[in-house]
Amino acid sequence: TSVLSRLEEMIRGAEIDEALAMLGELEASLCSPGAKLMVQQMLVDGIGKKDPAVVFKKCFPMLAAHRLHFDRAFALWAGQDGEAATSWFDTAINEGVFELTSTQRISPRRLRFESALVFSLLDGDPEAARRRIQDLPVEYRVRALTERALTDTGTAPLPPGADLGFATIVREELPRRDQVTAMANMAGRMIAQGGRERLGQFLAGIEASAMERKVVGSRFADVTLGDLSHKNAIDVESVNETRSWLQQHAPEDADALIGRSMRGTWNRNGTWSTNAALLREIHQGGASDELLVGFLDGYQAKKNKEEALQLAEQIQDDAKRCDARDRIDRTTQMPHLQLQAEGAHGNE
């Protein structure tokens, strides 16, 4: 709104001492809690952009109990003076600032700070970033590695020079299941902020394994085709463009990933049947049987049984065709749960 715009402009133009004075006055004011919290956040962010160290010397002691996001300012501070930011953070941890009274071992706020610090270290001191991850319980490591990429939409997820450091920590410090989560989450943010070119650069920079290429390719297919579907722009040409990228960067799984993604991608103007017809055309144009095998492996194929069986007949490999038919005929338990999982990108 115009009022918020004027307020933001005023905060941007304020000197740090003036912004600190506003915070003090606001704390004593009688305005509604929601409005107070919003303006406090704006002031903290404004001060952080000018001198993030001040946020933790002056603002944090006064406002630590509030539901404010200090991690954005902390990320800036860690990028400017990692040694000072790390020292402050470790002292705060030792003093119990980030302790919880619940059964959680590490507070969500501390994890956001850890993630901001790890990301700032990855480019210049990846071994220090690794040590911070190693010091966390295993079940929290994946969040510390991905929290910043998922929550801070205003910055790039990783500078290119940090790609290998990130991948090395993922490979060596996380369980296999969490490796998949970390790679998929980072891929999703890279697609949103840097597009397919940045994602290809990431895969090359880390010398990605076939498994990593499959994970990243799966997220790429889901995000790209899901976005096209929501825009009602999914057609043979757009799917083939997505397939072309996958053939370059995840060649062993390209057609299977397209098929799997398409079985859960539809909207009010397109249905599973629309996607089936589209994939039939692409298959006839030279795509492998894996395109149809991936598409037909799910509850939607059983729900559209007759049409799915007709599509299965287009599979050229005898064994794969028979297996696809058997899976379509096979009854499943709790189909509503399987449908919910497969249709995560769709909107019936």
Condensed to tens digits (0 to 9), the pLDDT of residues 296-323 reads 998 889 889 999 999 999 999 999 999 9
Tokens coding 176: 């296999």
Q: Angle 176-205/163-173 helices, nearest 10 degrees?
A: 160
pLDDT at 135: 93
234 and 278 in contact (C-beta within 8 Å)? yes
Residue 333 has pLDDT above 50, yes or no: no
| pLDDT band at 90; cut points 50, 70, 90 | very high
Residue type, 127: E
Higher pLDDT, 252 or 152: 252
| pLDDT band at 267; cut points 50, 70, 90 | low
Residue 52 has pLDDT above 80, yes or no: yes
Three-class secondary structure of residue 1 per DSSP = coil
Tokens 């002292």 belong to residue:
91
The CA dihedral of 119, 123, 125, 131, to the nearest 10 degrees, is 40
> Which residues lie below 8 Å from residue 238, measured CB to CB, with a gap of 6+?
228
**Residue length, the chain?**
348
Residue 174 has pLDDT above 90, yes or no: yes
Residue 342 has pLDDT above 80, yes or no: no
Q: What is the DSSP letter of 63?
A: H
Residue 114 has pLDDT above 70, yes or no: yes
| pLDDT band at 100; cut points 50, 70, 90 | confident
Three-class secondary structure of residue 269 per DSSP = coil
> Using alpha carbons only, what angle is made at residue 203 by residues 199 and 208, rounded to the nearest 5 degrees?
150
Residue type, 264: G
Percent of the chain beyond pLDDT 90? 52
pLDDT at 324: 95
Residue 191 has pLDDT above 50, yes or no: yes
Tokens 């809690």 belong to residue:
33
The CA dihedral of 16, 22, 23, 26, to the nearest 10 degrees, is -170
pLDDT at 157: 64
Three-class secondary structure of residue 109 per DSSP = helix
What is the pTM assigned to this prediction?
0.81
Q: Which of 4-8, 46-50, 310-314 is predicted least confidently? A: 4-8
Question: Which of the listed ranges 32-41, 70-79, 94-103, 131-140 does the model predict with the highest average pLDDT?
Answer: 131-140
The CA dihedral of 198, 201, 205, 208, to the nearest 10 degrees, is 100
pLDDT at 11: 79
Residue 201 has pLDDT above 70, yes or no: yes
| Distances in whole angstroms, Cα of residue 102 to Cα of each of 89, 105, 106, 116 | 21, 8, 10, 23
When the pLDDT of each residue in the chain is averaged and rounded to a whole number, the result is 86
Residue 213 and residue 256: Cα distance in Å, rounded? 13
Nearest to 74 by CA among 27, 120, 20: 120
